[in-house]
Amino acid sequence: MSLLKTKVSRRKFLGLTSGALASTLVMSNFGVLKKVGASEEKGNSKYGRKFVPSTCAICVNKCGFIAEVDNGVIRKINPNPKFFKSRAMICARGNAGAKVPYDPDRLKKPLIRVGKRGEGKWKEVSWEEAYDYIVDNVVKLVRKYKNRSTIAFASTEGFQEEYFIDLANIIGTTNTVRHPTLCLASNIQGYSSVFGTFPDADIANAEFVIIAGSNRAEAIVTPDTIDMAKNHRKQTLIYIDPRATKTTALADKWYPIKPGTDLALVLAMIHVIIKENLYDKEFVEKYTYGFDKLAEHVKQYTPEWAEKETEIPASEIYWLAREFAKHAPRSIWYPGRRSSFYANDVYYRRACAILNAICGAWDRPGGLIPKSKIPLRKYEIEFPIFDWTRDRIDAGKVPFLGDVLPEEDKTDAGLPTDSCQYLSEKDGSWILFREAILKGVPYPVKGLFVYKQNPVESVPNRKKTLQMLEQMEFICTIDVAMSDTAWYSDVVLPESTYLERWDPVHSLNGVVPIAVMRQPVIEPLFDTKSMFEIMCNLAHKFMERKDFWEDTSEEDLEMFKETCLKRLTKNPVKDFAKYQVSKYPGAFEQLLKEGVFYLSDKPKYGKTLKDGFRFKTRTGKIELYNVKYEEKGLHPLPVYTRHTDPKPGQFRFVVGRHGQFTHASTQNNPWLLEAYGDKENAVWINAKVAAKMGIKAGDKVKVKSPVGEQIVKALPTEYIRPDVVFYVHGFGRLSKGLSNIYRVGASDAEIIVDYMESISGNAAMHETFVTIEKI
Amino acid sequence: MSKKKWAIVLDDSKCIDCKACTVACKMENHVPLGMYFYRNWVAERTKESEFPMIKRMFRPSQCQQCENPPCVHVCPTRASYQTEDGVVLVDHEKCILCKYCMTACPYDARYVNEEIEAIDKCTFCYHRLAEGRIPACVETCPPKVRVFGDLNDPDSEVSKLVKMHDTEVLKPEKGTKPKLIYIKR
Ligand code: SF4
Ligand code: SF4
Ligand code: SF4
Ligand code: SF4
């Protein structure tokens, strides 16, 4: 039954000669080491040992670290003891980051495609040539279509993403698409519809925590993961997931819920809490709106009813509800992050927020806390207004929305069926965006810039993403490695890694906000540039093209030159960072020396509970009943819709994270691949089901969905429900530039159907059914 | 000045098998890539049980820095030795790769390091101790499963933890007297 054994015994190798060991096991590694040695020579040759504080970028947490640099080579990345947001730790990925600059798979020079798309034939070019190529193509496209929005920008979060967005503004497109709709857009939407904001969880001070579908042991979020583990002996942690992930190691109880029914559980808990008068009456009266309507609405959702939906016994649901209320306000239904599960995800997240709200577990120690931030200065930049800019391609009425909604959600599920209602202007909706581009409606999008994101592997239904790329006349990708998207691009710009550059200051908002920046730990090893430098250089190149500015006014152009070209692009990031924190004396020096800056290391509670505070909702109160939703024709209260069950022979495919991998970006790191414990991923199938199907551990099976199929190893295990299968994200890759994982294992992007949650625009990742066949 | 007795006390009920300790150790100590080369590890101890009665459990470990180290006793060249403060080390120059120590160690804590052509194992990051720094695996761990310190100092955190909790060591029947001490669950 066991999964990957985490320790390999060396005993059986005792008898082997060391020579045999070397040839069978470490040959390939020596190759890597040699290359690393060679590249290290090119690095900063300054002698001596130094310790440089900066900020990790291998995942989204941005932990402070102190790098030990020996003779210009990074020897080790150590935790920063002053960085309390991650409780002075550096995870496996952060540690392995020390090897990122020396990775033989790195992009080292700008590349222009010479063969067919995806053929992998490139020529190395100078930056000048690359810039000219880009500017020529962009100007050509914008003029050809008389539309600046024909150029799209895809990116994911990071300290230099703002410069990529600046570039989008310079080109004058509205079509930026960011990662949230593949991640937590529905979560943000759901919690905000109740509290007017997306809060953090004060895990450090909570007594009773329910975490559903967020695998915090393997998807590290700081400080939550660490506080859950540290509080393990004194906090009750309830874990709800169809898989027994590593988070069960911390859990007091694990409920393998029937997927898609979490909302039924939450509604039944609310039912019990109201019926048994366990809610916080004073809080409800003073701060919330719509309690009576809620009470009436949840009468139908009894634990006995929910038992049939969720397969969690009604007695357990009573227990959960009573314990939750008993420990409130130190109780949390954990918001989680990647929340793109179902087509009605926003309603589920709303219910979770309501549960916390009626128990008064809001803005008090141990509950949900609105995030605080450290205000920073910024440059005000005036981008020109262009005549040829058009509205976002995925905004407004979308005639084909039904194509990306699951069958049962097209009619009376209470979801918008003609437009994505709450699209954030900058983020867009990945699924809808791609669909609109493929249909060419309302206009053609023919150019694409990609920064740090890898849509080929991160957006469900990989074939469609490849088709979208295929119909582009120009694609430019900026990255540190040859991602699958870079592989299908026309020009690839190598970015300096996070260890080789300055990054501006960012406030990491949370229960206790903290500010960080990046300073170079080593000089760039290769002919790479930061996103900032790339943006600046392109901005000036575009200025040289008179034919690029005819649809804007002289006045606008002057403002742009003053604010952007003279200020933003003429000041190095280091100076900007200094300016950002200039209202706090000594802050910049502290950032340089200690790697962190903060105003206080203690949480502040209760600012939303002060008299006269208005929540950012229509009524200014915590909206149990959402007034705006009612106006828009949506359910103002969370309504449960039953999801289709897999048919006999089918399984529901679920996605999930692994502690060694950040999305699809670290699988190619040999140290992390090794820590993962295997060279490829494997599909989890319930052991009994596998036995019945004659599938043994290691057998190759075909996993087939309506949109694709993948061949992958089988991993029969007791750690998963019989009706669900799973494999780790980020394998089965298409880029030959990712040498350790190219075509190894299976890609989930290839098989997940591209359904969407139409309130938030989030991808619905758990609506896919697959069949498994032994081959 | 009294002698130190370095030890690590672990509360592995907090361990989430994140492998920060194993990667940190490889980075800090130039342990080669390869699944058979490691100074520390995390074992899964989940009891064989059936869905849905699952409770996963992890146990990080490394050389136990035995007070009575069989590896040292069997080493013909004295390459394996114990320092004043009780840390078991290998003098790579003296090691002839006879592997007697690997056979003698009850914890499978040693491996052959091809790059230095010697037996290698956890040193408690002895080079760091000299600088007043704690071992890399201890420092990097998110929930701080491991606590490092001097058992001869009654005020050290390790001494307090041992006093406060029920503890156990691995394979006590071997008589090795490990200085890796586990807090009972
Ligand atoms: S959690 Fe790990 S990878 Fe993420 S920022 Fe922190 S150290 Fe880096
Ligand atoms: S770093 Fe800590 S939590 Fe992670 S595997 Fe090691 S001991 Fe366990
Ligand atoms: S654990 Fe093994 S290698 Fe370490 S001191 Fe004990 S016997 Fe020696
Ligand atoms: S103490 Fe040092 S050498 Fe020993 S396992 Fe930890 S990091 Fe590795």
Residues A322 and A299 occupy one common structural domain: yes
Number of domains comprising chain A: 3
The full 3-state SS of chain B, as one line of letters, equals CCCCCEEEEECHHHCCCCCHHHHHHHHHHCCCCCCCCCCEEEEECCCCCCCCCCCCCEEEEECCCCCCCHHHHHCCCCCEEECCCCCEEECCCCCCCCCHHHHHCCCCCCEEECCCCEEECCCCCHHHHCCCCCCHHHHHCCCCCEEEEECCCCCCHHHHHHHHCCEECCCHHHCCCCCEEEECC
The model's confidence at residue B48, banded by pLDDT at 50, 70 and 90, is low
CA A719–ligand 3 middle distance (angstroms): 34
Residues A470 and A558 occupy one common structural domain: yes
pLDDT at A85 over 50: yes
Of A385, A325, A381, A401, which is closest to residue A357 (Cα–Cα)? A325
Query: Which percentage of chain A shows pLDDT scores above 90?
Result: 89
| Residue A258 in domain | yes
The model's confidence at residue B2, banded by pLDDT at 50, 70 and 90, is low
The model's confidence at residue A6, banded by pLDDT at 50, 70 and 90, is low
The model's confidence at residue A737, banded by pLDDT at 50, 70 and 90, is very high
Residues A752 and A622 occupy one common structural domain: no
Class of domain B6-183: alpha beta
Interface test with A, best of B13, B14, B16 (most A CBs within 10 A): B16
CA A716–ligand 1 middle distance (angstroms): 31
Q: Whose CA is nearest to atom 5 of ligand 2?
A: B17
Contact partners, residue A692, CB within 8 Å, separation at least 6: none
Mean pLDDT to the nearest integer, A398-424: 86
Residues A573 and A684 occupy one common structural domain: no
Q: Are A289 and A624 in contact (CB under 8 A)?
A: yes
| Residue A37 in domain | no
pLDDT at residue A599, as a whole number: 95
CA B11–ligand 2 middle distance (angstroms): 10
Residue pLDDT, tens place only, B136-146: 999 999 999 99
Residues of B in contact with A76 (CB under 8 A): 24, 27-28, 136
pLDDT at A36 over 80: no
What stretches of A71-207 adopt beta strand conformation (E)? Answer: 73-79, 111-113, 122-124, 151-155, 176-177, 200-201
Residues A456 and A406 occupy one common structural domain: yes
Mean pLDDT to the nearest integer, A12-24: 41
How far is A395 from A379, CA to CA, in rounded Å? 29
Residues A382 and A476 occupy one common structural domain: yes
pLDDT at residue A40, as a whole number: 42
Judge: B141–A89 Cβ closer than 8 Å, yes or no.
Answer: yes
pLDDT at residue A293, as a whole number: 98
| Residue A565 in domain | yes
Per DSSP, A404 falls in state G
Q: What is the mean pLDDT of chain B?
A: 95
pLDDT at residue A273, as a whole number: 98
Closest alpha carbon within chain A to B20 = A92
The model's confidence at residue A674, banded by pLDDT at 50, 70 and 90, is very high
Residues A202 and A157 occupy one common structural domain: no
How far is B89 from B83, CA to CA, in rounded Å? 7
Element (H, E) at A293: helix A291-297
To the nearest whole Å, the CA of B57 is away from the closest chain A CA by 5
How far is B130 from A230, CA to CA, in rounded Å? 29
Chain A interface includes B20 (CB < 8 A): yes
Ligand number nearest CA of B100 is 3
| Residue A627 in domain | yes
pLDDT at residue A765, as a whole number: 95
Residues A208 and A345 occupy one common structural domain: yes
The model's confidence at residue A27, banded by pLDDT at 50, 70 and 90, is very low
Query: Which percentage of chain A shows pLDDT scores above 70?
Result: 94
Residues with CB under 6 Å of ligand 2 are: B 15-21, 42, 58, 60, 141-143, 145
Question: Smallest Cβ distance to A659: which of B18, B50, B55?
Answer: B18
Mean pLDDT to the nearest integer, A594-621: 96
Q: Are A153 and A165 in contact (CB under 8 A)?
A: yes
**CATH number of the domain within which A499 lies:** 3.40.50.740
Residue pLDDT, tens place only, B78-107: 999 999 999 999 999 999 999 999 999 999
Mean pLDDT to the nearest integer, B25-35: 96
**CATH number of the domain within which A758 lies:** 2.40.40.20
Residues with CB under 6 Å of ligand 4 are: B 25, 28-29, 39-40, 62, 122-125, 135-137
How far is A573 from A159, CA to CA, in rounded Å? 11
Atom of ligand 3 nearest to the CA of B65: 5
Closest alpha carbon within chain A to B58 = A249
Domain spans of chain B, in order of start: 6-183
Q: Pick the residue with more confidence: A497 or A7? A: A497
The model's confidence at residue A14, banded by pLDDT at 50, 70 and 90, is low
Residue pLDDT, tens place only, A308-318: 999 999 999 99
Q: What is the mean pLDDT of chain A?
A: 93
pLDDT at A228 over 70: yes
Q: Whose CA is nearest to atom 8 of ligand 3?
A: B71
Q: Pick the residue with more confidence: A126 or A396? A: A126
Chain A interface includes B43 (CB < 8 A): yes
Nearest-5° angle of CA A536, CA A471, CA A423?
A: 65
To the nearest whole Å, the CA of A220 is away from the closest chain B CA by 9
Residues A445 and A553 occupy one common structural domain: yes
Ligand number nearest CA of B63 is 3
The model's confidence at residue A131, banded by pLDDT at 50, 70 and 90, is very high
What value does the CA radius of gyration of chain A take, rounded to a whole number of Å? 26
Closest alpha carbon within chain B to A5 = B44
| Residue A518 in domain | yes
Atom of ligand 4 nearest to the CA of B148: 1
Chain A interface includes B161 (CB < 8 A): no
Of A411, A412, A432, A407, which is closest to residue A422 (Cα–Cα)? A432
Mean pLDDT to the nearest integer, A718-746: 97
Beta bridge partners, B147, equal: B9
| Residue A683 in domain | yes
Residue pLDDT, tens place only, A309-359: 999 999 999 999 999 999 999 999 999 888 789 999 999 999 999 999 999
| Residue A504 in domain | yes
Peptide bond into A442 cis (omega under 30): yes
Chain A interface includes B41 (CB < 8 A): yes
Question: Smallest Cβ distance to B114: which of A3, A26, A233?
Answer: A26
Mean pLDDT to the nearest integer, A289-295: 98
Enclosing domain of residue A263: 184-371+606-632
Q: Which of residues 104-123 of B touch A (CB under 8 A)?
A: 108, 111-112, 114, 117
Judge: B41–A95 Cβ closer than 8 Å, yes or no.
Answer: no
CA A587–ligand 1 middle distance (angstroms): 23
pLDDT at residue A499, as a whole number: 98
Residues A167 and A201 occupy one common structural domain: no
Residues with CB under 6 Å of ligand 3 are: B 63-66, 69-71, 88, 105, 107, 109-110, 121, 176
**CB neighbours of residue A363 within 10 Å:** 22
| Residue A78 in domain | no
Beta bridge partners, A661, equal: A658
Residues A344 and A426 occupy one common structural domain: no
Mean pLDDT to the nearest integer, B166-183: 98
Q: Pick the residue with more confidence: A78 or A395? A: A78
**CATH number of the domain within which A298 lies:** 3.40.228.10
Residues A304 and A410 occupy one common structural domain: no
Q: Whose CA is nearest to atom 8 of ligand 2?
A: B15
Judge: A32–B19 Cβ closer than 8 Å, yes or no.
Answer: no
Question: Smallest Cβ distance to B142: which of A33, A226, A672?
Answer: A226
What stretches of A603-718 adopt beta strand conformation (E)? Answer: 622-623, 650-654, 682-686, 700-704, 709-717
Question: Smallest Cβ distance to B103: which of A14, A251, A675?
Answer: A14
Chain A interface includes B19 (CB < 8 A): yes
pLDDT at A303 over 50: yes
Residue pLDDT, tens place only, A660-670: 999 999 999 99
The model's confidence at residue A510, banded by pLDDT at 50, 70 and 90, is very high
Tokens of A192: 């905000």
